[in-house]
Chains A and B, each alone.
Chain A
Amino acid sequence: MPTTLPADSVGLVTPQTAHFDEPLALACGKTLEAYDLVYETYGELNAERSNAVLICHALSGNHHAAGYHGKDDAKPGWWDAHIGPGKTIDTRRFFVIALNNLGGCHGSTGPCSTNPATGRPWGPTFPLMTVSDWVCSQARLADRLGIERFAAVVGGSLGGMQVLQWTLSYPERIANAVVIAATSRLSAQNIAFNEVARQAIRSDPDFHDGWYGEHGTLPKRGLKLARMVGHITYLSEHSMGAKFGRDLRSDALNFGYDVEFQVESYLRYQGDMFSTVFDANTYLLMTKALDYFDPAATCNGDLATALAPASCPFLVVSFSTDWRFAPARSRELVEALTRANKPVSYVEIDSPHGHDAFLLPDPRYQAVFGGFMKRITRELDLEKGA
């Protein structure tokens, strides 16, 4: 972190907590009697309350999407490349809200929180969340913040699924949808990778059926493995090759099982880091939410029919080397949207960075996404602000 904050940063931000006492009925049949949502905001809500943008996070994301929590932060929020003054989501024009979803491990109610009914942490008994449940909780946060209708709801990957669900659950409350590197449903291969991740966690002896907190352990090895597998799917073969090739850490092969190739070192490091900051039960829950999402399921698999309630313009973006949620998945969504006569634009960004590309800066990505946001700015007459 630089000693002075970059000019195009939202600067220092402080997370806030909203407490909700209104019970939330979940898709799994259970009810959350009360819960907290942690969120951050950037920019100013205008007098008409028309300039709010909701950011939905992906599997391991959270409410810290932009800016810095402290001067000593090594890195800004996870989508800082796209949120800030003069950036794609221009905080001089828009009031941006990013939250940590329920079931998360960064402050919102989740498996690490105390279950008021037992006085113990929820642990593995925390109800499985669905994308619909999240969207419902997000709408309540919007109510709390006085936002009737979002100028845009935006998200990548699992976040893109939430955007799609917004257009179906609350079509009157979303003026524009930006669905990036997402899919309307996971493929068998996607679910398979998630299951490997889950098995890695659940078979760790330190997992204790999810009660590791009570046992004073952490299933770090399992979580590390899960992250390593996941991380491979976020990168492209090309980007891994370009970054590591077959480079060795030392000059020669050492004929053993310690780290030899740079890519092994990188994956282990990523896994280790992740296993110390992320909760295993949250990871399991998030992968399940991914697996379950399938809005077409209620319409015999006919996505175009399922999309009937949607009414806002969509921007769908995919990345050429993304094989986790490949461009073909985005095209399926676009085809269903056009079949349903919904306003949609689609762009495939040529990028070597695989699924991770949605997090990174890229001139064309920014031009496309920025162009769409610029049109919203113009239509909502938000230009007067700055």
Chain B
Amino acid sequence: MMRADLALIYDWVPEGARVLDLACGDGTLLEALARDRKVAGYGLEIDPDGITACLEKGVNVIEQDLNLGLANFDDDAYDMIIMTQALQALRRPDLMLDEMLRVASEGIITFPNFAYWRHRVHLGIKGYMPVSKSLPHAWYDTPNIHLSTFNDFEHLCRQKGLIISDRAVGNGDHEGHWSSRWWPNLFGETAIFRISRGQGHKRSRAQTVRNTGELL
């Protein structure tokens, strides 16, 4: 049984695509994509247990810290780039978006939606930083240093001139519930976006490498 957001992504990846999966975890998604859809590619991961699990599965995994950018991958080397539940833990999510859409023309990103109603209740009524299934950490030990909302991400994509070709929410048991479809920013627990380069978005590799070296 695949995690809800992974199951959705699985359906969005075209047959035979060349894929880079950033923060690939134990390789579940890549393994399924390789087996069922002839997808080839690599997973990037830094968690030792995840890496070992990938090796045992036969998933190509490269130990790499995403905060150092993707300078070791060429422009347009992949058809699809995926990053699940990692954007919020990066030092500069905005620059990572640039890097992702330099390496591939299309990307899928998932992250916990900070504006999910339960999170709002935590913060707005109880007065505590939200802790939930999608945000299980306490404020002091969380790896999630750049939390954002469904709306925030759409805003950033607009700023960058990126095209959002599809979006969805993962909601635990309430997948596809009417409320989360109509008000994803309020009722979506996990935000899932499918994005691609807009006009004039692409920047030179040199520029990206320089930026990521300094800032990521």
Contact = CB atoms under 8 A, between A and B. Distances in A.
Interface of A: 313, 315, 331, 334-335, 338-339, 341, 343-348, 364, 367-368, 371-372, 374-375, 379
Given A334-B62, A338-B73, A367-B52, 9 more contacts: A335-B72, A338-B77, A341-B40, A345-B51, A345-B61, A345-B62, A371-B56, A372-B55, A375-B56
A339 to B, nearest CB: 6
Given A315-B55, A375-B56, A338 B72 contact: yes
Given A346-B63, A368-B51, A313 B74 contact: no
Contact of B77 (A313, A334, A339, A345): A339
Interface in B46-63: 48, 51-63
A376 B49 CA distance: 19
Contacts of A343: 60
Contacts of B51: 345, 347, 368
B126 to A, nearest CB: 40
23 contacts: A334-B62, A334-B72, A338-B42, A338-B73, A341-B18, A341-B40, A343-B60, A344-B42, A344-B60, A344-B62, A345-B55, A346-B61, A346-B62, A346-B63, A347-B51, A347-B63, A348-B63, A367-B48, A371-B52, A371-B55, A375-B56, A375-B58, A379-B58
A380 to B, nearest CB: 12
Interface of B: 18, 40, 42, 48, 51-64, 72-74, 77
Contacts of B74: 339
Given A339-B77, A341-B40, A368-B52, A313 B58 contact: yes
A345 B56 contact: no
Contacts of B48: 364, 367
A344 B41 CA distance: 9
Contacts of B42: 338, 344
B63 A374 contact: no
A371 B77 CA distance: 28
Contacts of B18: 341
Contacts of B54: 345
Contacts of A313: 58, 60
A177 B40 CA distance: 19
A177 to B, nearest CB: 13
A343 B55 CA distance: 12
Contacts of B53: 371
Contacts of A348: 63
Contacts of A371: 52-53, 55-56
B19 to A, nearest CB: 12
List the 9 closest pairs (A to B, CB-CB), nearest first. A371-B55, A371-B56, A335-B72, A371-B52, A346-B62, A372-B55, A375-B58, A347-B63, A345-B61
Nearest to A334: B62
Given A338-B72, A339-B77, A368 B60 contact: no
Nearest to A379: B58
A343 B39 CA distance: 12
A331 B56 contact: no
Most buried by A among B55, B64, B77: B55
A156 B20 CA distance: 28
A368 B54 CA distance: 10
Quick one: which of A341, A346, A374, A379 has the most chain B CB within 10 A?
A: A346
A334 B73 CA distance: 11
Contacts of B55: 315, 345, 368, 371-372, 375
A339 B42 CA distance: 11
A209 to B, nearest CB: 46
A359 B159 CA distance: 52
A345 B63 CA distance: 8
A375 B18 CA distance: 23
A346 B64 CA distance: 9
Contacts of B57: 375
A374 B60 contact: no
A338 B51 CA distance: 17
Contacts of B40: 341
A374 B77 CA distance: 30
Contacts of B60: 313, 343-345
A285 B74 CA distance: 38
Contacts of B73: 338
A34 B214 CA distance: 59
A335 B72 CA distance: 6
A347 B51 CA distance: 8
